Amino acid sequence: MLASITSACLLGIDGHAVRVEVHITSGLPGFTIVGLPDAACREARDRVRAAVTNSGFDFPNRKITVNLAPSSLRKAGSGLDLAMAVGVMVASEQVPGAGIDGMAFFGELGLDGSLRPVRGMVSLVDASPVDIVVVPAAAYAEATVYGRHEVRGARRLVAVVEAPRGDEPWPDPPEPAEPAPPVGPVVVRDLADVRGQAAARSALEVAAAGGHHLLMVGPPGAGKTMLASRLPGLLPPLGIDEAVAVARIRSAVGEPLGVGELTTTPPFRAPHHTASPVALTGGGSGLLRPGEVSRASHGVLFLDEMGEFAPAVLDALRQPLEDGVIRITRAQAAATFPAQFLLVGAMNPCPCGEAGPDGCTCSDGERSRYRRRLSGPLVDRFDLRVDVQRPTPDELLRGEPGESTAEVAARVREARQRAAARGVACNARIPRRRLDELCPVTPETELVLEGALAGGRLSARGLDRVRRVSRTLADLQGHDGPAGVEHVRMALILRAQPLVAA
């Protein structure tokens, strides 16, 4: 007998539909899986046998061949267990084929027949060409993200086959363990907690409003990490497409999604400086796991202690910063992951941490070596730079709390809407050819820019950046016309400059 069950397998963050064909004939008893299964997939044989037997069904003592089509696609992971078990039972006529028509099956089987979730359920379900999907109960939330399918969750193999046999109705969708988390940005870290730091707050606001990459330079203890952690609260909540994309990536990485609404808080990733290039960009042998740059997509990637990152790691960021995606090529497979993030870097001005002729105790060689670590394409990418200093005791104890996240986020949201109305995702991504149209230079601002260029305050490359940042500053003030002199002047003092004095 031949059974054909619909399922899917995960490659990178995308699901690929897989047809599990099970063929039972006479011959020497055996269980063969073909179709490029990886080790975990091959082990399904023992799991399926035990699960079927422990669920009260017979495991046929005949020659069983399982083909995972398409045969040229590598099948990784244990998500095909359920489909194989169902296929065996249909092929051995223990379950009627008609009963499972139009359904897809996903999940790993335990030896006792229990159903376990696997990574990437969001993408797997998305790849299913059928209307009804059967998933482990624990993955119910993930399976409903796209909302296109009718989702049936089950905890055990028994439950999966009883309904098609007509013995039992499908179990109800699982109740959420606790009340669903609130929708929208979860503001745990408020900007009002930061005392003083007017320049840094302004820079954060501009970064959030225009998507401009921000570099914070300052000694240890200045509050750079604190400021960076406030940034996700300032960013507008994710739209539905972005939220789904983030859910896909989180699912592919194996992060459990809560039951209830999709989270709309932009992700915030802060990899430690000992992270490897692969941890940052993604990859790995065979699995193609998304890296930090993809997990930070539509959110913030915060590199604390940027001076401590290995140069190879920082170099790996160049392509995603340029293209907004990361392309990973391995011998067996290639994938393109999203990597559209807001980059925030924090670093000391020099190895000893202090700066300026009064405080710095570094030798000239140490300083120039430190500067060279981050020179070139990466530092060039930062539109904004702010020098952060340690707050004085007076500020800490008696300082007034500044504007709250809510106040600033409202302005940011409006500024973003203005940018969207122009047809750009955010001002930082205004292409060169549209600069003159969207960021025009008036005679007044031309004077200011000329003065800055002539005085060596601004380089030719910096000029484009200043124009984009001025546009964001104008948007933040609710100003629709060309950026004015005051906006250009602000952009000039907030822009990125060489790291340490030569």
Partner 1 sequence: MSGSGGRSAVGPLGAAALPDEAYLVGVASIPGVGPATIRAELAERSPEEAWTRLRARPGSPVDLAALWTRHLEAGVLVVGRGHAAYPAALRDDLEPPEVLFCRGDLGALDRRRVGVVGTRRGSRYGLDVATQLGERLGAAGVAVVSGLALGVDGAVHRGLFRSGGGPPVGVVGSGLDVVYPGGHRDLWRRVGEEGLLLSEMPLGVRPTRWSFPARNRIIAGLSEVVVVVESAQKGGSLYTADEALARDRPLFAVPGPITSKAAKGTNRLIADGAMPLCAVDDVLLALGLSSPTGSSAPIPEPGGPPGRVLDACAHESVTLQTLVDRSGLTLPEVAGAIDELCRTGWLAESAGRYERTTPR
User: Which residue ranges make up the site for partner 1 (CB under 8 A)?
Assistant: 196-200, 202, 217, 349, 355-358, 360, 364, 385-389, 448, 451-452, 455, 457, 486, 489-490, 492-493, 497-502
Q: Residue 305 or residue 486: which is nearer to partner 1 going by CB? A: 486
Tokens of 297: 């997509």
Shortest distance, position 213 Cβ to partner 1, whole Å: 16
Q: Would you say 356 or 478 has its CB closer to partner 1?
A: 356
Look at the block and give the residue holding tokens 């959110």: 299
The CB density around residue 500, as the number of other CB atoms within 10 Å, is: 20
**Other Cβ atoms within 10 Å of 475 Cβ, number:** 26
Q: Which is nearer to partner 1, 122 or 347 (CB)?
A: 347
- Least separation in angstroms between residue 409's CB and partner 1 is 19
Nearer to partner 1, 323 or 394 (CB): 394
Which residues are registered as beta bridge partners of 5?
20
* 394-425 exposure pattern, b = at least 16 Cβ within 10 A, e = fewer: eeeeeeeebeebeebbebbebbbebbeeeebe
Residues ≥6 apart with Cβ < 8 Å to 7: 17, 18, 19, 20, 79, 80, 82, 83, 104, 105, 106, 124, 128
Measured CA to CA in angstroms, residue 220 lies from 240, 270, 389, 394 at distances of 39, 17, 9, 19
Q: Shortest approach of partner 1 to residue 305 CB, angstroms?
A: 17
Least separation, in Å, of the C-beta of 401 and partner 1? 17
Nearer to partner 1, 49 or 479 (CB): 479
Locate 257 and state its tokens.
């999604």
Question: Minimum CB separation from partner 1 for residue 481, in Å?
Answer: 17
**To the nearest whole angstrom, how small is the minimum distance from the Cβ of residue 356 to partner 1?**
4
Q: Quote the least distance from Cβ 390 to partner 1, whole Å.
A: 11
- In the complex with partner 1, which residue's Cβ is closer, 308 or 394? 394
Which helix H or strand E contains 20, and what residues bound it? strand 14-25
Q: Which among 74, 79, 66, 70 has a CA at the least distance from the CA of 123?
A: 79
Burial, 100: exposed, middle or buried (Cβ in 10 Å; 0-12, 13-18, 19+)? Answer: buried
Residue with Cβ nearer partner 1 (86 or 306):
306
CB 22 within 8 A of CB 84: yes
Helix (H) or strand (E) holding 447: helix 443-454
The DSSP result for 202-216, as a single string, is: HHHHHHHHHT--EEE
Q: How far apart are the first and last CA of the chain?
A: 78
Least Cβ distance, residue 371 to partner 1 (angstroms): 9
Q: Which is nearer to partner 1, 327 or 457 (CB)?
A: 457
Shortest CB 440 distance to partner 1, Å? 20
Closer to partner 1 by Cβ: residue 357 or 423:
357
Question: Quick one: 86 or 346, whose CB is closer to partner 1?
Answer: 346
Tokens found for residue 386: 């702010």
Of 343, 121, 331, 325, which Cα lies nearest the Cα of 213? 343
**Two tokens, residue 249:** 């990536």
Give the residue from 171, 66, 76 showing the smallest Cα distance to 118: 76
Instruction: Give the shortest CB-397-to-partner 1 separation in angstroms.
Output: 16
CB atoms < 10 A from the CB of 442, how many?
Answer: 14
* Residue 377 C-beta: closest distance to partner 1, Å: 19
Backbone angles phi, psi at 27, to 5 degrees: 140, -175
Phi, psi of 252 (to 5 degrees): -65, -25
Q: Which is nearer to partner 1, 161 or 355 (CB)?
A: 355
